[in-house]
Structure formats: C-alpha cells, structure tokens
C-alpha cells in the first residue's frame, strides 16, 4: 500500500521540528514513499529547498503549511487565554494553491502576528483556491471540539470547512500518538464523522 506523509515539520518549524530537509527526503526514500509533504508551523521557509531536493531525489514534493487560525479576527491582539489559536494543515494542490499559501503566510506575519503568525476565517476563505485542507492535529479546531465532547459543534465546523474548500478538498486527519490519551478518542470521533 502506498503511503505519503502529509503533515511533516522540519527544522524550519522553530521550537517544534528538528529534522533537516535532506533527512526527511532520505527517510521517505528508505520507506519507499514516492511523495512527501512539508507543512512547517506558520511558515514556508523551507519550500524552495524542499521542492528542489525532492525533485532531485525523485520524490514528488507537496508544499504546505500548518497554519495558525485565530479564534476570531487576525487583528485581535487581546485574545483571552482560553481562546487559543487552532492549527489547520493546508496543502498546495496546484500553482494557484501555492500562490495562495504564500499570500496566507504573508498576511499571517504582516497582519495577524500575535506570538505566532495567524490567519483568520475571513482571509482563509478569500485565499482558499487550489488548497487542500486537513483538520490537523489535536490542536486543530475539530479535534479540540471532539476532545471536549462538543460533537454537534464539531459536525457543524466539518460541514463549514467542507463547504469552503469544496468537494474533495477537505479531509479529516488521523494521527497515531499512542502516548496521548485524547488521540484515540479524537481519532474515533473523526472516523465516526467520516462514516456519517
């Protein structure tokens, strides 16, 4: 069975990722992968290096970013401590998507920066074309809602994300972290919603 890692951080994800681009590509080759994504936190610093080195190694590069989505407006710099940013994994589907990822990360730094580069729902819906979105890790909005047993709100948000990105462009992201107790609960919730 073919497998592609779609949520991958490199050393460009400051204080989160450690692996260098060359090591990521070599590991993908060692595992028999023919494609690989790079989705660093809030930045695309490694996109060009990743693209060029993947091409040279015969690996299809998938350029993305794990965006920080502000719970309200990207301009709001007085967020309450209980309103944390959500993660959202975004992948460029084509050249239009790549350009929109660049716009989103630029806006996140220039307009939305508050401890982290943030976008909001308004700018996300404006620059959604050519992008495939994944519900992200446990810090994603939908996984947080599932973990908090807010299943009706989670269902509503899934439908909203699916409507924004369009058919075939929004996916529920499963991860395997056996040491995180809430991961199994969230995964089961995502599977149930997927079946629904």
SS3 string, 2-50, reads CCCCCCCCCCCCCCCCCCCHHHHHHHHHHCCCCEEEECCECCCCCHHHH
Query: Which CATH number goes with the domain that contains 86?
Result: 3.20.20.140
Domain shared by 181 and 140, yes or no: yes
In this prediction the pTM is 0.95
**Residue 68: is its pLDDT beyond 70?**
yes
Check residue 162 and give its pLDDT: 97
The beta strands (E) that lie in 42-168 are given as 60-69, 86-92, 118-119, 131-134
Check residue 82 and give its pLDDT: 54
| Domain stop point among 134, 152, 187 | 134
Give tens-digit pLDDT for 159-182: 999 999 999 999 999 999 888 889
Domain shared by 111 and 154, yes or no: no
| Domain stop point among 87, 104, 134 | 134
Domain shared by 115 and 160, yes or no: no
Domain shared by 109 and 167, yes or no: no
Check residue 142 and give its pLDDT: 97
Say whether 188 sits in a helix, a strand or coil. helix
Domain shared by 45 and 103, yes or no: yes
Give tens-digit pLDDT for 33-44: 999 999 999 999
Say how far apart CA 3 and CA 19 lie, in whole Å: 20
Structural domain boundaries, residue 173:
136-196
Q: Which of 166, 169, 146, 147 lies closest to 156, judged by CA?
A: 146
**Residue 126: is its pLDDT beyond 70?**
yes
- What sign for the dihedral angle of Cα 24, 16, 131, 174? positive
How many folded domains does the chain comprise?
2
Domain shared by 75 and 152, yes or no: no
Please name the residues in contact with 160: beta carbons below 8 A apart, sequence gap of 6 or more: none
Domain shared by 123 and 150, yes or no: no
Say how far apart CA 34 and CA 46 lie, in whole Å: 19
| Domain stop point among 119, 134, 149 | 134
Domain shared by 144 and 93, yes or no: no
């Amino acid at each position: 069975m073919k497998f592609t890692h779609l949520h991958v951080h490199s050393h460009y994800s400051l204080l989160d990722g450690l692996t260098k681009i060359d090591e990521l590509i070599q590991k993908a080759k060692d595992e028999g992968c023919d494609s690989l994504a790079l989705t660093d936190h809030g930045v695309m610093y490694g996109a060009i290096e990743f693209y060029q080195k993947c091409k040279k190694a015969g690996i299809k590069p998938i350029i993305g970013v794990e965006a920080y989505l502000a719970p309200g407006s990207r301009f709001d710099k007085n967020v309450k401590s209980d309103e944390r940013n959500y993660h959202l994994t975004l992948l460029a589907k084509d050249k239009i998507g790549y350009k929109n990822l660049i716009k989103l990360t630029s806006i996140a730094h220039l307009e939305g920066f508050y401890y982290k580069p943030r976008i909001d729902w308004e700018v996300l819906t404006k620059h959604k074309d050519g992008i495939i979105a994944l519900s992200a890790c446990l810090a994603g909005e939908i996984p947080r809602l599932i973990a908090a047993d807010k299943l009706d709100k989670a269902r509503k948000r899934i439908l909203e994300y699916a409507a924004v990105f369009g058919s075939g462009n929004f996916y529920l992201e499963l991860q395997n972290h056996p040491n995180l107790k809430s991961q199994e609960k969230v995964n089961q919730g995502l599977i149930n919603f997927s079946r629904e």
